[in-house]
Amino acid sequence: MASSSLSLNDNLNHHLFTLFPRPNNIKLTTKTNVTNYKTFSPKHQPQKTTAMAIRSGSSPSSSSSSVSSTSTTPHFPKSDAVLSSDYHLVDETNLVNPEDERPLNEIWREIQGSDDWEGLVDPLNSHLRREIIRYGEFAQACYDSFDFDPHSKYCGTCKYQGAHFFEKLDMADRGYKISRYLYATSNINLPNFFQKSKMSSVWSQHANWMGYVAVSTDDDEIRRLGRRDIVIAWRGTVTYLEWICDLKDILRSADFGPDPAVKIESGFFDLYTKKERGCKYCSFSAREQVLAEIKRLLDYYAGEEISITVTGHSLGSALAILSAYDIAEVGLNGVALGDDQNKIPITVYSFAGPRVGNLRFKKRCDELGVKVLRVVNVHDVVPTVPGIIANEKFQFQKYIEETMSFPWSYAHVGVELGLDHSQSPFLKPSKDPGCAHNLEVHLHLVDGYHGKGKRFCLVSKRDIALVNKSCDLLRGEYSVPPYWRQDENKGMVRSSDGRWVLPERPRLEGHPPDMAEHLAKVLMLKSTINGNGSPRLEAA
């Protein structure tokens, strides 16, 4: 999310800085334990070099902007070395985990969490590292393409048409195509979520663009993955972190399945299920949009090996977990119908996400086989809420939730990959909670993480300039401006008569005409499973 210095309320500030005091300036390397080091200091400036293209692993850039200017500042160490916190180049031998020589298409189910990532997280498997970053960049694309400028009449929508989405973000080579866009209504219990234009003439009074569904279509990519992959990417908030102050810890029954004890946070529930009848983008809820589109795609690609991968950051992480649970609960992937042998795996790559539901929600996700890998920064406050009092770390949580019906009991779902931004020698100490929460910071940390107690060492040499794309956390000697990503001239162009104007954009499509048809199929499937349709799904 776009992050800057934040103004949180006093309670949140107290909670944040009590839990996470300012990290010390940690030195990872000293001359006594360095082999083959070279000294770097301002007196020994490297020769001019062209900044490395933004990339992750062997994949080309996913950023909407690349750094192409020449620079006299240090950028990356040589391929066989890593820059330490006291600016020595150290030998990478024995720092990097061995490359997993098995092809991804043979082990993709393990990488997608079939065994709950047993033995793959610590030390971090090379395939898993690349997949985490790849799906994180799908989530980052939601931020890079979202118009959050209140001076634009398109504020709250996606900047690009679906057919050109990945092309505009330099991700055309990823082998995926947009299947449909997702929208949510402003009529929800999260006041700091909605982005709205200050202009009177706007694209919609009620809707916000929330993400997309995409599907792998490139034959080479499908062979590499070992299956056809359907991706659901959810946008988080682009406002400051005040939205977490609006989480009232109020749990409500999900109503997606037969067990009323499965409960989720009410704000997330509203965002996922509310609709606006008079709006062409929100006449169906975000939930209905997702379920209908997944049903359509599964019917279209019936008989193929398929995976469903859901990703999101921050508030988008909550939607990712909620929608993954929903897809499994209504039986779209086959598991609720008892077809475990042919079930379609559902995996969530969650970044910096809050808790979503109660302990029974967590257990139901486990029962349905929903696999969740949560990537968190230990200095980030968002994953600690809601449920500060009663959560998965509380010994008697099950007792108070089931016996006492305690209404504020929350539990994280899945496996946690805990990272620490103070371990990266490229980052400076910071008390800014927005920097600790930033998605690009998380992806940088994944690139350099090898396991608990192991030295930080970048593997794919993913461009460190991306860290400062929407925050200020890189050390000053890299001379990368903070918050550098922006549209050229803020999107203004010069017209034929010499005037500077904001150009008109093609009208984004609303709901596809066959959506009600596919939603009716979901209702029929739900009725087959438990004898009645979900009360919050409508065929028209």
Kindly report whether the peptide bond that precedes residue 345 is cis, defined as omega within 30 degrees of 0: no
DSSP string, 381-450: SGGG-S-SSBSTT-TTHHHHHHTS--TTB-B--SEEEEE-GGG-TTB-----HHHHH-HHHHHHHHHH--
d(CA 540, CA 536): 12
3-state SS assignment for residue 248: coil
220 is catalytic: no
Structure tokens at 524: 């029929």
Backbone dihedral angles phi then psi of residue 537, each to the nearest 5 degrees: -115, 130
* Whole-number Å distance between alpha carbons of 273 and 288: 8
Q: Annotated catalytic, 314?
A: yes
- From 147, 170, 270, 380, the catalytic residue: 380
Q: What is the largest CA-CA distance in the chain?
A: 75
| Known catalytic membership, residue 380 | yes
Token pair for residue 116? 């709950």
Q: Could you say which of 437, 442, 444, 511 is catalytic? A: 437
d(CA 321, CA 55): 27
Contact in structure between 51 and 463 (CB atoms under 8 Å): yes
β-bridge pairing 228-234 and 207-216: antiparallel
Catalytic residue among 85, 179, 216, 314: 314
> What are the backbone dihedrals phi and psi of residue 506, each rounded to the nearest 5 degrees, phi first?
-60, 145
Rounded to a whole number, what is the distance in angstroms from the first to the last CA of the chain? 34
Catalytic residue positions?
314, 380, 437
